[in-house]
Amino acid sequence: MIKSMTGYGREQRLVGSREILVEIRSVNHRYYEFNSRIPRAYGYLDEKLKSFLNGKISRGKVEVCVSIFNVEGADACIEVNQSIAEGYINALKKANKSLMLNDDLSLSHIMRLPDVFTVNKMTEDEDEIWEAVKEVADSALEKFVSMRIVEGEKLKQDICSRLDYIEEIVEKIEVRSPEVNENYRRRLYNRLSEILEDKNIDESRILTETAIFADKTAVDEETVRLRSHIAQFRKLVDSDEPVGKKLDFIVQEMNREANTTGSKCQDLAITNMVVDLKAEIEKIREQIQNIE
């Protein structure tokens, strides 16, 4: 199957204590080009994502957006500053004795005092974060590839219909070409008849001239190669491998054969057929610019 180079995939998921969003989009490009938008704190994910996607995307300008949100408090470590808490307690007990106050000291009172608790951010494990991001990226990639396949199938249908039409034109050229030679022989015979009037006409000379003309204008080789290119094209569009570059080469060869046919022919009907032929080849060329 062929795949389009245009695609989009999105996945958002809660993995552990992190809400992770990954978006993958791509447009046409001759090679694999990777760009990413990742929070600065997670910049180390850039190369990892580039390598991860490079094994599954061969061509296209790919952009990946990653957002990571930590669930509030999940990445924090809260500790009691015991020395400060003991200092508060001792100071309050002394004040209680000197001021003769009721001893109603409780944990809730201690919690309100400043600097009793220390909140520390937990050190993040890069490998753990990468595994979480990769899990989400894999799901986004699956959707991305699915869209490419759907778009690729549309391209394939359009291209195959154009290949059918090209084959029809080639067949018409093959039928018309011998007729051109016969028409040339007749014109040559009639012309000589007018010039020589009642004199005998050298039939062998006419046959020789017709053969020379046929040799110069023969397009058999070109039409055979065109049919071969069409067969190769059909085989490649059913391949599971990336074929965009190969198809581009075949289209160039098809266009070359069409140009040669046009330069050889000396018949208006074939010239018009060649114009239609080149127009269809150009439309196919435009389509394969979007094939991976």
Domain ranges of the chain: 7-71+126-148, 76-121, 151-288
Amino acid at 36: S
First to last CA, the chain: 11
Give the per-residue pLDDT at 202. Answer: 61
Tokens linked to 73? 């408090």
Q: With respect to CATH, is domain 7-71+126-148 assigned 3.30.230?
A: yes
Alpha-helix runs per DSSP H in 113-266: 126-196, 203-217, 220-237, 244-264
CB 258 within 8 A of CB 277: yes
> What is the spatial distance between Cα 129 and Cα 133, in angstroms, rounded to a whole number?
6
pLDDT of residue 181: 61
The pLDDT assigned to 123 comes to 60
For position 227, what pLDDT does the model report?
93
Query: How many CB atoms within 10 Å of residue 50?
Result: 15
Other beta carbons less than 10 A from residue 22's beta carbon: 25
pLDDT in single tens digits along all 292 residues of the chain: 789 999 999 999 998 888 999 999 999 988 899 999 999 889 999 999 999 998 789 889 999 999 998 875 555 566 677 787 777 777 777 776 676 656 666 666 666 667 766 655 656 788 999 999 999 999 999 999 999 999 999 999 999 999 999 999 999 988 887 766 666 556 655 665 555 555 565 666 656 655 555 555 567 788 889 999 999 999 998 888 889 989 999 999 999 999 988 877 777 888 899 999 999 999 999 999 889 8
Q: For strand 7-15 and strand 18-27, is the pairing parallel, antiparallel, or unpaired?
A: antiparallel
Is 170 exposed, middle or buried, given 0-12, 13-18 or 19+ CB atoms closer than 10 A? buried
Q: Residue 196: what pLDDT?
A: 52
Q: For 171-180, what is each residue's pLDDT tens digit?
A: 998 888 776 6
92's tokens: 């309050």
Cα(143)–Cα(146) distance, integer angstroms: 5
Q: What is the pLDDT of residue 158?
A: 94
Structure tokens at 184: 């040339």
Helix, strand, coil percentages (3-state) for the chain, rounded to 5, are: 65, 15, 20
